[in-house]
Chains A and B, each alone.
Chain A
Amino acid sequence: MIKFDGVTKVYGDKVKAVDDVSFEVPEGNIVVFLGPSGCGKTTTLRMVNRLESITEGKIFVNGTDVNSLNQIELRRNIGYVIQHNGLFPNMTIEDNVMAVPNLLSWDRKKKTDRYNHLMDLIGLNPDEYRKRYPHELSGGQQQRVGIARAMAADPPVMLMDEPFGALDPVIRSRIQNEFLQIQQEVKKTILFVSHDIDEAIKMGDGIAIFEGGKLMQYDSPSELLARPKNEFVREFVGQDRALKSLSLHTVKDLISERMLRKADGLQKHNKKTITVETNLRDALSILLNQEADQLFVQANNKLVGAMRIDDVEAYLHHHIK
């Protein structure tokens, strides 16, 4: 659990980068910091592991005031993924990933096992990359290694500053999915900086929107989309917030509210098949783009019915707006 209590950061004696921010992040949650450039996301993040000093207020990690802890100990217990991945160019991938275990003097066997496990987790072959150097990897691979490095000593808390920032949309979406899957397994408490509302909706259990160092709203994604607290948040989440919130619902949710249509055998040449886990936004874009009039829905590899655009529309009207 992470708790911000009236946290303020002043650079020099003028620039108020963070202004009296208070909120709590429950254990095992991902909270996304969102807001325009310069609104204080990175600064807020970096005060948690004391890479920036706290001017006023307090930050608690699992009930302990971070200022009361040894700075080095604190940082070793918090995984940190920096905005520009920051891999050490002089070290191999293995040495990069094992940077913290090396500081903690783990024995060789434990380190090798952990390295193999982490590389499997992030989808890179452990042996193939072991002796390679960061510059021999693509940007996406480097970012994944940066994440593995932050997770190496299994810290309960992670700070991630735009970890998927430099990626193209396709790879980005894939890595987001992979990361969410990993999170299901590891259940860490994560502060995640982004300036992409779609990423925030997808990744966050909660979203904290900042503007000029002030916390504008802190809520669950669906709450934020449904009830923006003020004009700034409304503008920031955009006109299409109803559409955006579709990505928070799956076909399963739709089924629980309304019956699916019978799969119409006659139109089988003009169909696409999706699973019940597909989110409604993706389902809608398939319907809009793929020129399929209906989608066949599968659960556990069995066809359970079909859906059309009007089903999504009706769901949107009745259950989201």
Chain B
Amino acid sequence: MNEIWNYIIENQASIGAYMLEHIQLVGLSVIIAIAIGLPLGIYLTTNEELAETVLQVANVIMTVPSIALFGIMIPILSIINHGIGFVPAVIALILYSQLPIIRNTYVAINNVDPHIRDAANGLGMSTMQRLLRVEIPNALPIIMAGVRQAVVMNIGIGAIAAFIGAGGLGVLINQGISRSNTTMVLTGAIAISILAIVADGLLGILQKRMTPKGFQQ
């Protein structure tokens, strides 16, 4: 334990930099994943057949081991000279985030009380107004739960991104293994866990904040 502590003190700066890289990697990928997954999930509520297909594909992507996914992307992205590094890592994390985000959005919007949807239509809301004023606010807690799940999962998977040179806290683990430096490996693992726990806690608070006050607890 002492060794780890000393290692952290001595390498504060580089650990901090890896942490920042890690946050950037996960943050950017989840933001893009939301930008794709949220509208897609909403659209799928209007197209049942497509919904089944898309959710199945997202499910399959989830089951691909992360190291294999990174491996697949190297030749593909080499075409545009981004075979390794930040870009393929972000793309992989976006793909992994799709299932929780699309699925939760789809389920949450579908589960909005049909009477409420009916009232919105009856009052003369357009589809967009109904979504923004009624359906999304009522679905938000469940959508946020999906985002939270995606973030925590990606913080873990992000560690493997170091193997394709994307940086982040995985670097400590990667280098630790190749140098047989257990302290380094442990430091990396602990840092990633702490990051995941903190992110989960913060998003939990955000989720509560975004839950409409009118919801019965």
Which residues of A pack against B, CB within 8 Å? Answer: 49, 51, 72-77, 80, 82-92, 99-100, 103, 133-135, 149-150, 159
- Tell me the smallest distance from the CB of B215 to a CB of chain A, in Å: 6
Q: A103 and B125 in contact (CB under 8 A), knowing A84-B115, A86-B115, A90-B138?
A: yes
Which of the segments B41-49, B92-100, B116-124, B147-155 contacts the partner chain?
B116-124
A residues near B212, Cβ cutoff 8 Å: 89-91
- Apart from A73-B124, A77-B124, A88-B119: 6 A-B pairs, beta carbons within 8 A: A51-B121, A75-B124, A76-B124, A83-B115, A89-B212, A90-B212
Interchain CB contact under 8 A, A133 and B124: no
B56 within 8 A of partner (CB): no
Contact of B213 among A73, A74, A75, A133 (CB under 8 A): A133
Interchain CB contact under 8 A, A99 and B116: no
Within 8 A of A (CB), among B104-147: 113, 115-116, 118-126, 129, 133-134, 137-138
Contact of B124 among A83, A87, A103 (CB under 8 A): A103
Which residues of B pack against A, CB within 8 Å? Answer: 113, 115-116, 118-126, 129, 133-134, 137-138, 212-216
Interchain CB contact under 8 A, A51 and B118: yes
Among B124, B129, B138, chain A packs the most CB atoms within 10 A around the CB of B124
CA distance A29 to B115 in the complex (A): 27
Interchain CB contact under 8 A, A49 and B214: no
- Tell me the smallest distance from the CB of B39 to a CB of chain A, in Å: 20
Among B115, B122, B126, B137, chain A packs the most CB atoms within 10 A around the CB of B122
- Tell me the smallest distance from the CB of A100 to a CB of chain B, in Å: 5
- Tell me the smallest distance from the CB of A111 to a CB of chain B, in Å: 15
B residues near A74, Cβ cutoff 8 Å: 124
Interchain CB contact under 8 A, A149 and B123: yes
CA distance A83 to B215 in the complex (A): 21
Interchain CB contact under 8 A, B115 and A89: no
The 15 listed contacts between A and B (C-beta, < 8 Å) are A72-B124, A73-B124, A74-B124, A76-B123, A76-B124, A82-B118, A85-B115, A86-B118, A87-B116, A88-B133, A88-B134, A88-B214, A89-B215, A90-B212, A103-B129
Interchain CB contact under 8 A, B137 and A90: yes
Q: A100 and B214 in contact (CB under 8 A), knowing A86-B118, A90-B138?
A: no
Q: A134 and B214 in contact (CB under 8 A), knowing A82-B115, A84-B115?
A: yes
A residues near B123, Cβ cutoff 8 Å: 75-76, 80, 99-100, 103, 149-150
CA distance A135 to B133 in the complex (A): 18
Residue ID in chain B nearest A146 by CB atoms: B119
Interchain CB contact under 8 A, B124 and A90: no
Residue ID in chain A nearest B126 by CB atoms: A72
Contact of A91 among B124, B126, B214 (CB under 8 A): B214
A residues near B129, Cβ cutoff 8 Å: 103
Contact of B122 among A51, A73, A89, A133 (CB under 8 A): A51
B residues near A75, Cβ cutoff 8 Å: 121-124
Contact of A80 among B122, B126, B214 (CB under 8 A): B122
Interchain CB contact under 8 A, A100 and B124: yes
